[in-house]
Structure 1
């Protein structure tokens, strides 16, 4: 389940201060799911307030899909999403484009890979 680099900006696109300020009102309304896992990864989804999508800059969106692009860590953190280190935005739930899917290597896999 590799992330398709063509679905990202070529490099992280930082938000301008004015763009960031427009998003501040939504940060407390971001919803984080419980974590769930398989034998390789932990997953969670992050639900942005629907009105927040209207305030996110257009170049964060994939015009062919009508959803957000896959965001670099710097980009999703700039939107106000807060998670521990190691999470990667790997998919957008297309029927509900305000739901972003994240994954990170599960602790059991990390231990196996490092010993």
Structure 2
């Protein structure tokens, strides 16, 4: 993870923001895991309508996609995964798809 992102403080959701996101949490889709020699990967697909209620400061204004989220931030959205996963990319053509990875050593 980029050092700039690592040093950033997580922007936690307020109770009202969390409440607006709850209705979408059961519709989050988790891909099967796939891997290379160093990392295990998966992508998480958020319901498209969920993007409309995620706070604007979770987005990269230049790219129009979600910015790279810290663990407390993506967990706050309702994404549930075991420990060690890191959000490393957002799929620009489909901004509701978040790409995650974790080191094979963390299993």
Relative distance call for 1:83 and 1:63 in structure 2 (3 A) is: same
Of structures 1 and 2, the larger Rg is shown by: 1
Cα drift, residue 11 of structure 1: 1.1
Of 36, 39, 54, the residue aligned with 1:38 is: 36
> What count of residue pairs does the alignment treat as equivalent?
107
Cα drift, residue 25 of structure 1: 0.3
Structure 2 gap ranges (5+): none
Counting only pairs closer than 5 Å after superposition, residues 56-67 of structure 1 correspond to structure 2 as 56-67=54-65
Given that 2:84 and 2:106 are in contact with CA atoms closer than 8 Å, whether structure 1 keeps it comes out as: no
Alignment partners' CA distance in 2, 1:11 and 1:38: 30
Q: How big is each residue's C-alpha offset from its partner over 1:22-45, in whole Å with a ceiling of 9 and x where there is no partner?
A: 000000000000000000000000
Counting only pairs closer than 5 Å after superposition, residues 52-91 of structure 1 correspond to structure 2 as 52-91=50-89
Alignment partners' CA distance in 2, 1:95 and 1:66: 10
| Residue range with higher mean Cα deviation, 45-54 or 5-14 | 5-14
Given that 1:40 and 1:105 are in contact with CA atoms closer than 8 Å, whether structure 2 keeps it comes out as: yes
